[in-house]
Amino acid sequence: MIPVELIPLLLIIVAFLYSSVGHGGASGYLALMALAGIAPSVMKPTALILNLFVAGTAFVAYYKAGYFRWRLLWPFALTSMPAAYFGAKISLNPVTYKIILGICLLFAVGRMLYKPKKNEESLRQVSLPIAGFTGIILGFISGIIGIGGGIILSPLLILTRWAGMKEAATASAGFILLNSLSGLIALYSKGFLPDENIAKWILAAFFGGILGSYTGSFKLSVSGLRYVLSGVLFLAAFKLIF
């Protein structure tokens, strides 16, 4: 367990690391809240709100740097947004939620440790049927758990050679932003319940997101810190699953 008083400081670090690779950081925020013993019903809307600010900051930074490619975003977002909306409507019992979240955190560990090759030649066109189906799956899971889905989309874009590293980061940031917004709309219709500390958590995450986005845009290395974050995520995943 970690004290709630430490969360703002930890949020700065988590938002910094995630935004440096174009992510919103929801899986990291959920891990922190799980380790702090916060109720799942509060965790999901809180993580999505923080996601909006950090992913939005990352998207703007990478967009201004010239890495945005519309063709990498719309085929996935078109199907993921409605799926995220309906996924967010589903309320799981706490035990099931924690197990699924724990599995997602293991994916987050893999993404943090994943080092894509720098060879970005011979990129291929996005397959629209695969992108549409992938959007449905990622959107639905994102809605249920309270994440944006970029943790899976980003490596997928790189491994399929649909995008280079920076282009994938930009598309993932936009994807996360749209899915988080869709999920929040669904939660709002059910009754909104973020954590009471949300205001200062937003400020902390936003600050970390600005620093991380700037760092990622200028190709500075944060690999050492990512190993630390991976350890925290793995610990949280272990705690949630077992």
How far apart CA 189 and CA 204 sit, in angstroms, is 27
How far apart CA 176 and CA 142 sit, in angstroms, is 9
Mean pLDDT, to the nearest integer, of 188-201?
Answer: 86
Nearest-CA neighbor of 65 among 111, 25, 26, 22? 22
Mean pLDDT, to the nearest integer, of 80-107?
Answer: 91
* Predicted local distance difference test score (pLDDT) of residue 221: 57
pLDDT reading at 213 higher than 90:
no
Which comes out higher in pLDDT, residue 165 or 115? 165
Backbone angles phi, psi at 91, to 5 degrees: -110, 115
Owner of token pair 């400081």: 9
- Confidence band for 214, pLDDT divided at 50, 70 and 90: confident
pLDDT reading at 10 higher than 90:
yes
- What region, left, alpha or beta, does residue 38 occupy, with left being phi > 0 and alpha being psi -120 to 50 degrees? beta
Full-model pTM: 0.88
pLDDT reading at 23 higher than 60:
yes
Print burial letters for 193-224: b (CB count within 10 Å at least 16), e (below 16): ebbeeeeebbebbbbbbbbbbbbbbeeeeeee
pLDDT reading at 40 higher than 80:
yes
pLDDT reading at 1 higher than 80:
no
The set of residues, in sequence order, having a beta carbon less than 8 Å from that of 225 and lying 6+ positions away, is 13, 16, 17
Compute the C-alpha angle 142/145/149, nearest 5°. Answer: 25
Residue 117 Cα distances to 33, 121, 148, 159, angstroms: 33, 11, 24, 9
Length of the chain in terms of residues written: 242
